[in-house]
């Protein structure tokens, strides 16, 4: 528990530096591109268009899901997936990519995954704005359910931090892990619900119940419950409890491994 407290304390003590470095990382990534930061919106928008043509028009036949057009249903979930996928991969490689630069100075290495997570918010929030416009155009009006967006956003950030810290540490110790993680995320894309409604895929009930334990699925469906006014988070109390237990386990493992090995990160690299 002391290790968790130490890691979380570092995040709050250096929160100003986290936001400054995240802004710098955004500018550095796109400084040589003509459209610059616009690619943070254009890239996911292009992918959304492709997925809609393939899975919405081609496979689903533009049928409604949960009483809304497929595009609205898909957009609500896939925006969360884009953010989580990018953050997981970026955070997992953050320490390995930059530890050499900070090794000779007193630097809180645990903030490197957090910097990547915060940096990706610059593309996430504009996409949420696009989602809101799409909802209004489609006739979906705001409801009291929307206030629980705060809860699911908090779930997403805490999960990204816990998972990112663990992945970043393991990637330093075992370089092949990052490639393995990429393959796992490709699989999770199809079983976490951003483009498929796993409840209507003629899958065995036991398999569906197992897939619902996936923390990515919990967050994606939570955003849909929020913006499509389908229900409250406490109505899924069991899945919520399982989600937070998983997050706690990830945080314990990630904090322990990080504090144990970070003094020797440079040696492993």
The CB density around residue 110, as the number of other CB atoms within 10 Å, is 24
Q: Quickly state the pLDDT bin for 42 (edges 50, 70, 90).
A: low
The arithmetic mean of pLDDT across residues 247-268, rounded, is 80
User: Angle between the 121-137 and 111-119 helix axes, to the nearest 10 degrees?
Assistant: 30
Residue-wise pLDDT for 158-207, tens only, equals: 999 999 999 988 888 888 888 889 889 988 888 887 887 777 666 777 87
Q: Is the pLDDT of residue 57 over 70?
A: no
Per-residue pLDDT at 136: 86
User: What global pTM score does this model have?
Assistant: 0.86
**Quick one: angle between helices 215-227 and 70-102, nearest 10?**
130
- The Cα–Cα gap between 115 and 123 comes to 14
Q: Is the pLDDT of residue 105 over 80?
A: no
């Amino acid at each position: 528990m002391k290790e968790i407290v130490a890691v979380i304390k570092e995040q709050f003590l250096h929160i100003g530096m986290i936001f400054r470095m995240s802004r710098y990382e955004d500018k550095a990534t796109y400084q040589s591109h003509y459209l610059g930061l616009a690619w943070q919106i254009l890239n996911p928008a292009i992918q959304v268009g492709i997925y809609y043509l393939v899975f919405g028009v081609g496979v689903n036949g533009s049928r409604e899901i949960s009483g809304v057009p497929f595009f609205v249903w898909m957009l609500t979930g896939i925006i969360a997936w884009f953010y989580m996928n990018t953050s997981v991969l970026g955070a997992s490689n953050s320490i390995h990519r930059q530890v050499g630069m900070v090794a000779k100075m007193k630097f809180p290495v645990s903030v490197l995954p957090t910097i990547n997570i915060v940096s990706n918010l610059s593309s996430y929030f504009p996409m949420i704005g696009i989602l809101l416009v799409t909802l209004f155009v489609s006739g979906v009006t705001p409801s009291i359910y929307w206030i629980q967006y705060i809860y699911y956003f908090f779930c997403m950030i805490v999960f990204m931090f816990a998972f990112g810290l663990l992945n970043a540490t393991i990637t330093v110790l075992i370089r092949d892990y990052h490639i393995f993680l990429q393959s796992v995320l490709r699989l999770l894309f199809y079983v976490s619900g951003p483009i498929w409604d796993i409840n209507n895929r003629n899958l065995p009930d036991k398999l569906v119940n197992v897939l619902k334990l996936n923390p990515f699925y919990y967050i994606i469906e939570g955003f849909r419950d929020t913006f499509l006014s389908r229900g409250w988070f406490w109505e899924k109390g069991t899945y919520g409890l399982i989600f937070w237990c998983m997050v706690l386990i990830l945080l314990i493992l990630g904090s322990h491994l990080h504090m144990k090995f970070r003094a020797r990160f440079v040696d492993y690299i």
